[in-house]
Amino acid sequence: MDRIRRFWGWGFEDAGLSHAEERALAKRIQPFIDIAPHPIIPPTPDELHLPAPRITPPDSLDPWCQSDDVARAGHTYGKSFRDVVRALERRWERPPDVVASPVDEDGVIAVLDWASRIDAVVIPYGGGSSVVGGVEAPANDDRPVISCDLGRLDRVLEVDSVSRAALIQAGVYGPSLEAQLRPHGLTLRHYPQSFEVSSLGGWIATRAGGHYATLHTHIDDFVESVRAVTPAGLWESRRLPGSGAGPSPDRLLLGSEGILGVITEAWMRLQDRPRFRASGVARFATFAEGARSARALAQSGLWPSNCRLLDAGEAMMTGAGSGEAHLLLIGFESADHPVDLAMARAAELARDHGGIVEIRRDGDGGQEHLDASDQWRSSFLRAPYIRDSLVCLGLISETFETAITWDRFDSFVDDIRACAENALRAVGAWPALVSCRLTHVYPDGAAPYFTILAPGQSSGRLAQWQEVKAEVMGAIVAGGGTVTHHHAVGRDHRPGYDLERPSLFAAQLRAAKRVVDPGAMLNPGVLIDP
Amino acid sequence: MDRIRRFWGWGFEDAGLSHAEERALAKRIQPFIDIAPHPIIPPTPDELHLPAPRITPPDSLDPWCQSDDVARAGHTYGKSFRDVVRALERRWERPPDVVASPVDEDGVIAVLDWASRIDAVVIPYGGGSSVVGGVEAPANDDRPVISCDLGRLDRVLEVDSVSRAALIQAGVYGPSLEAQLRPHGLTLRHYPQSFEVSSLGGWIATRAGGHYATLHTHIDDFVESVRAVTPAGLWESRRLPGSGAGPSPDRLLLGSEGILGVITEAWMRLQDRPRFRASGVARFATFAEGARSARALAQSGLWPSNCRLLDAGEAMMTGAGSGEAHLLLIGFESADHPVDLAMARAAELARDHGGIVEIRRDGDGGQEHLDASDQWRSSFLRAPYIRDSLVCLGLISETFETAITWDRFDSFVDDIRACAENALRAVGAWPALVSCRLTHVYPDGAAPYFTILAPGQSSGRLAQWQEVKAEVMGAIVAGGGTVTHHHAVGRDHRPGYDLERPSLFAAQLRAAKRVVDPGAMLNPGVLIDP
């Protein structure tokens, strides 16, 4: 039986924190941050009273369309802090009139045809895990809204073991995708934090960041070809291992966030399942030393699969450390050859930069397995559920992520941290915790990821958040960073994105959109104003 | 003093084959292929009688504009087989009216302004090494033509050693670029066959393939940001190590072949100079076995810098082998750590697939240094000069390159080889040599590169070539390959490219071009008809 999705927050009904866990969490937070005296109780389905849908699907689409309140509420927002707060406040702004869940590509075409006939907006919906306002209806647009949920296009259609690639439907979620590949001994190894509730098509549309901390940081490099449905017809690229024939067509769809077509299938490059592993943890007295070590590792050509630096606060909050040291988690994996020497060299590099290194040997048993790295990983996948509980406790819980070249790294991180702290103070959300980790590292820079935990005003939390968000986004873009390294732009990052991308490129993107979507039906207002 | 460029063929006047070398070459070819009784004598400047230029540069541009016959003839064509034949036939079709060589970006802007005022075509010109008709004037377009030669924008402007990146002007050629980086201990390590006579901007505009046989196969991945001048204004992306903010702007300019702007600068990712090296040669009884070994290596995650498979004929022609075995040249390099174990594992993989492996140890002296790998490399860089001599000897000398996934690899290579042989027979260019090598390999496929050497009819060689080219291009595209892995599309590959790219993507590219080049002034007819 299918697990039930939380319509108001992250993931599945059966996977949130227990009451005991929530109480323990509250106890852990309380010494640092004021929490609300009474946690907010999440809404139940019977509390939903959405305005009646403005459209009715034609008979041919009806079997796989839903117009009930739970389906519509569950597709009204993504899963950002703002989304969860609005849901907890029982505010369902601009819910889709219909949730269409086609079972095949023809169904997707039928949805676009219908939308075209009735002049409706279509929002492509994968797992709905957007944290940037990527799947909600536009304001200032009174057309009816159809949320096109790809979740039933969930099959691996063809596996090419020789080339290690597979043709995969776009709506498949991470766990099902991996389960279908496992009998072939293959894996995509793309594990974003949203792994359980996000889809292949969503990853491609948003240039999702994944498992590998170096080298193949985004889904981009694993895309061999893409197929998408647009109002102007089918868009399909050729399956190729590499090409130099003009600008890459795939790279236009990668990151298009639903505005250039509904991705229905992709040929994806896969990996053999790893057989050799080595990992270690390096402890640093300062974050800057840890970052220099991460830089040396990123520039070494060793290409570790894990190279994630947690500052002391982050290490403590996730249970990976005591809060006294900054931790660099290093990992190597291979399906072909032992990686112990690579790990040993990485440890040398870390020691060269002041790190105290513990290497974990594969096969060490018992307690050793629960090392900092494991602790961090399980906490990583659980974090969004914890976030929901924190929001219920009245907190502001938000993340900002970006990327910056190494020459500007140290001062940039200090500036963003200070900016966030000042903004939190200015809106009265203080004392607060601002922590930082590096999620991905490159030879020429890194992707810092900031987590904010702050007390919110019982009413007005969103206004506080909005001000902090705007301040930090402004500082990131002014400091030379990107408005998003792997969370996408959506509606929330538009102000920063509009400053960041070349203005002529935005005009080119608008022109490219007009070609495939002359009626501006697809996710209007995301990335660009059509 | 500057070396003098050959206006009719490849490279520099002082670097072609000596008469003795040409005679030796003829002797080596003659047993296999008929050569012309009297080699063609290349044209000299005094033979040039071009039609008068139709335009005169304004005074402000005059100091760096040329309208003499040698400059115009030298900028009329690229350096394809067809180009050299036309030059040897003293045919200068549609020479540019003016060759403008601005000394800075303002000069480039001035050229576009002038062209806009007089309704002229502008052809961005880097090193002029195009082998696909990428720098010649369009037919069926009677506007005056300005060749905009970026060669004086040849400086490294800024080096960021921390991030290992540099801001580099687009007109710089390979040797000067490397010379300017050397004092910083850094290198781009991008060595296309055209290295000596091609420019950074040209590499970016054509998605040039480079040094690395795996992982970083194209210039694409080394581009941190790009700056270009367009008729609609400046186009400049942000310097970032990675980003997920919308479709990558850089990826639209990468491969744009001069139709979307004149690239003037780029921030490029650099490498430390390698200190550790290991290499080896594996000999195989069949090409298919060699390919399976290359596949295993490409899928191993060892990421060799060299992994080039030469078929027996190719090995013989380039002097790397005796012609009895197919050779896989394997190489590893690192600035950080020894690579002997990686080489040892690669050798194991080669042996698993039937290879007989010789490993070269770093530091081995004397004769050992002149092994198959070195032999191949020096012959690789000299090949275009040899090609010119072969053309003078009356031969048809051409290459076709593509990429294909592994599942279709064996039959595809056989088909293309057979197609080329049949086409050569059909046009009476027989007996001929058709050889194949793999220039780059990927986990999911490879880039086969075919070389044709055939006897040409003293008049009508181009018609023969045209027919063979069309046949092979058709077979490549019909067989699922790409029309070009790293030679670009230009005008010559348009028929295949038009079938390969998604048709909606072509329409999007046209729309993107109209935004920055409403007058269709930039390289019209390349990639798309504006």
Domain with CATH 3.30.70.3450 in chain B: 276-361+371-375
β-strand pairing of B121-125 with B145-149: parallel
Instruction: Taking residues B274-293, report their average pLDDT.
Output: 97
In this predicted model, what pLDDT tens digit does every residue of B116-141 receive, in sequence order? 999 999 999 999 999 999 999 999 99
Instruction: Taking residues A182-198, report their average pLDDT.
Output: 96
Nearest residue in A to B164, CA atom: A444
Q: Which residues of B touch A242 (CB under 8 A)?
A: 217-218, 403, 440, 442, 445, 447, 482, 485
Instruction: Taking residues B214-243, report their average pLDDT.
Output: 97
| pLDDT band (50, 70, 90) for residue B367 | very low
Instruction: Determine the pLDDT at residue B365.
Output: 41
Candidates A508, A514, A515, A529: best to mutate against B (most CBs of B within 10 A) is A508
Instruction: Taking residues B33-42, report their average pLDDT.
Output: 90
- B191: pLDDT strictly greater than 90: yes
| Residue whose pair of structure tokens reads 């090494």 in the numeric block | B129
Residues of chain A above pLDDT 90, percent: 89
Check A254 against B242: CB less than 8 A apart.
Answer: no
Domain spanning B156-272 has what CATH number?
Answer: 3.30.465.10
Among A164, A207, A232, the residue with its CB nearest the CB of B299 is: A164
In this predicted model, what pLDDT tens digit does every residue of B445-471 receive, in sequence order? 999 999 999 999 988 999 999 999 999
CATH class of the region B276-361+371-375 = alpha beta
Q: Which residues of A touch B502 (CB under 8 A)?
A: 235-237, 249
Q: What angle do CA A451, A453, A459 make, to 5 degrees?
A: 130
| pLDDT band (50, 70, 90) for residue A370 | very low
Instruction: Determine the pLDDT at residue A372.
Output: 64
- A186: pLDDT strictly greater than 70: yes
Distance from CA of A137 to the nearest CA of B (A): 19
Among B406, B493, B501, the residue with its CB nearest the CB of A249 is: B501
Instruction: Taking residues B220-249, report their average pLDDT.
Output: 98
Distance from CA of B215 to the nearest CA of A (A): 9
Q: Which residues of A touch B500 (CB under 8 A)?
A: 238, 245
Instruction: Taking residues A116-126, report their average pLDDT.
Output: 98
A496 φ/ψ angles, rounded to the nearest 5 degrees: -70, -40
Nearest residue in B to A227, CA atom: B502
Q: Which residues of B touch A232 (CB under 8 A)?
A: 504
CB B188 within 8 A of CB B177: yes
Check B252 against A505: CB less than 8 A apart.
Answer: yes
In this predicted model, what pLDDT tens digit does every residue of A415-435 receive, in sequence order? 999 999 999 999 999 999 999
- B376: pLDDT strictly greater than 70: no
Instruction: Determine the pLDDT at residue A371.
Output: 56
What is the rounded average pLDDT for all residues in chain A?
A: 95
Check B446 against A241: CB less than 8 A apart.
Answer: yes
Q: Which residues of B touch A295 (CB under 8 A)?
A: 162
How far apart, in whole angstroms, are the C-alpha atoms of residue B490 and residue A77?
46
Distance from CA of B267 to the nearest CA of A (A): 11
Instruction: Determine the pLDDT at residue A55.
Output: 98
Instruction: Taking residues B4-21, report their average pLDDT.
Output: 94
Domain with CATH 3.30.43.10 in chain A: 48-149
Nearest residue in B to A504, CA atom: B235
Count Cβ–Cβ pairs < 8 Å, chain A vs chain B. Answer: 277
Among A160, A247, A303, the residue with its CB nearest the CB of B255 is: A247
Check A224 against B405: CB less than 8 A apart.
Answer: yes
| Residue whose pair of structure tokens reads 């929490």 in the numeric block | A35
| Residue whose pair of structure tokens reads 């981009």 in the numeric block | A220
Nearest residue in A to B487, CA atom: A244
Instruction: Determine the pLDDT at residue B390.
Output: 95
Question: Which contacts (CB < 8 Å, 24+ apart) does range B106-113 have?
Answer: B107/B61, B107/B64, B108/B148, B108/B150, B108/B153, B108/B229, B108/B262, B108/B264, B109/B229, B110/B60, B110/B61, B111/B61, B111/B146, B111/B148, B112/B229, B112/B230, B112/B231, B112/B262, B112/B521
CATH class of the region A48-149 = alpha beta
CB A304 within 8 A of CB A298: no
Instruction: Taking residues B216-220, report their average pLDDT.
Output: 96
Provide the CATH topology of domain A394-492. GMP Synthetase; Chain A, domain 3 (3.30.300)
Q: Determine the distance from the C-alpha atom of residue B425 to the mean position of all C-alpha atoms in its chain, rounded to a whole number.
A: 28
Check B242 against A217: CB less than 8 A apart.
Answer: yes
Nearest residue in B to A343, CA atom: B337
Check B269 against A488: CB less than 8 A apart.
Answer: no
How far apart, in whole angstroms, are the C-alpha atoms of residue A453 and residue A33?
8
What separation in angstroms does the CA of A86 have from each of A17, A148, A458, A462, B512?
20, 22, 13, 9, 39
Instruction: Taking residues A122-130, report their average pLDDT.
Output: 98
- A11: pLDDT strictly greater than 60: yes
**Beta-bridge partners for A438:** A309, A448
| pLDDT band (50, 70, 90) for residue B368 | very low
Instruction: Determine the pLDDT at residue B1.
Output: 55
In this predicted model, what pLDDT tens digit does every residue of A333-365 receive, in sequence order? 999 999 999 999 999 999 999 999 999 865 544
Instruction: Determine the pLDDT at residue B106.
Output: 98
| Residue whose pair of structure tokens reads 């409706």 in the numeric block | A120
Check B242 against A406: CB less than 8 A apart.
Answer: no
Distance from CA of A145 to the nearest CA of B (A): 23
Candidates B184, B203, B204, B252: best to mutate against A (most CBs of A within 10 A) is B252
Tokens of residue A358, six digits: 């513990």
Instruction: Taking residues A458-474, report their average pLDDT.
Output: 95
- Helices A372-392 and A19-29: crossing angle, nearest 10°? 100
Tokens of residue A416, six digits: 């963003």
Nearest residue in B to A134, CA atom: B246
Q: Which residues of B touch A235 (CB under 8 A)?
A: 502, 504-505
Q: Which residues of A touch B332 (CB under 8 A)?
A: none
- B369: pLDDT strictly greater than 70: no
- A293: pLDDT strictly greater than 60: yes
Instruction: Determine the pLDDT at residue B36.
Output: 84
CB B225 within 8 A of CB B267: yes
Residues of chain B above pLDDT 90, percent: 90
Q: Which residues of B touch A337 (CB under 8 A)?
A: 300-302, 345
What is the rounded average pLDDT for all residues in chain B?
A: 95
Check A246 against B527: CB less than 8 A apart.
Answer: yes
Nearest residue in B to A489, CA atom: B245
Instruction: Taking residues A41-64, report their average pLDDT.
Output: 97
Instruction: Determine the pLDDT at residue B396.
Output: 97
Q: Which residues of A touch B483 (CB under 8 A)?
A: 245
- B303: pLDDT strictly greater than 90: yes
Q: Which residues of B touch A299 (CB under 8 A)?
A: 164, 272, 336
- B371: pLDDT strictly greater than 50: yes
Check B255 against A248: CB less than 8 A apart.
Answer: yes
Residues of chain B above pLDDT 70, percent: 97
Instruction: Taking residues B179-201, report their average pLDDT.
Output: 96
Provide the CATH topology of domain B394-489. GMP Synthetase; Chain A, domain 3 (3.30.300)
β-strand pairing of A356-360 with A121-125: unpaired
For A388-400, what is the HEC assignment? HHHHHCCEEEEEE
In this predicted model, what pLDDT tens digit does every residue of B306-355 receive, in sequence order? 999 999 999 988 777 888 999 999 999 999 999 999 999 999 999 999 99
Nearest residue in A to B292, CA atom: A162
Instruction: Determine the pLDDT at residue A530.
Output: 82
